[in-house]
Amino acid sequence: MILAGLAALALSDEGLRERATGLLSREPGEAVFPLPPEYAGAFTDDWGAPREQGSHEGTDIYAPEGTPVYSVTSGTVAGAFGSNDAGWNTLGGYTVMIRADRDAGPVRRGDRLYYAHLSEPTPLSPGDRVEAGDPIGTVGRTAGEIPGTVADFPPHLHLGWYGGLGGFLGAEREEGYETSRSSGAINPYRLLLYTLEPQQESPQG
């Protein structure tokens, strides 16, 4: 029933799915949607939603377990907050964090994109470089004190977005991007919408 519900959610927004066509074929340096196009409608703006550990600092995108996860931006793999060598932490399960190495839409160079609840450890290591659209793991539902624990929630990707040094304050972001001054988190909802917009054609010269 859960997977059936996820499929219905993924197909519920026809407009988003149409906008997602070709989303992994953007020009180098562009930001891309982190899941296959059929899941372009499988998220809402759940920033700030109550959680046991506090308010939600990210956006959840629902998809079946094993769905490939792609890097939103090009960049370098970095150690995720509180994670062990396998990328495991209590809240996020298996995770990977990528530090953007260039501006990409609303993402600024040095920003960090955090991918959580992966089904297994990422094959990547800190220092590895990725391009936007490169596979970095698969959707899962991992979380808990013991590494490898499968949690009791539907499979999904938790996408977090954290500003680089000094780059997350509201005054330094385009109007409308909600931020947390305590953690440096930025609401990724509008970033995800940006990845689904058609690319602007270059002027003919």
Position 181 confidence tier, pLDDT thresholds 50, 70, 90? low
Distances from the Cα of 116 to the Cα of 30, 85, 90, 120, 186, angstroms: 22, 15, 11, 10, 16
Average pLDDT of the chain, as a whole number? 80
Residue 57 has pLDDT above 50, yes or no: yes
Position 79 confidence tier, pLDDT thresholds 50, 70, 90? confident
Q: What is the per-residue pLDDT for 184?
A: 79
What average pLDDT does range 50-57 have in this prediction?
71
Position 94 confidence tier, pLDDT thresholds 50, 70, 90? very high
Q: What is the per-residue pLDDT for 80?
A: 78
CATH of 2-195, one of 1.10.10.10, 1.10.1040.10, 3.20.20.80, 2.70.70.10: 2.70.70.10
> pTM for the whole thing?
0.81
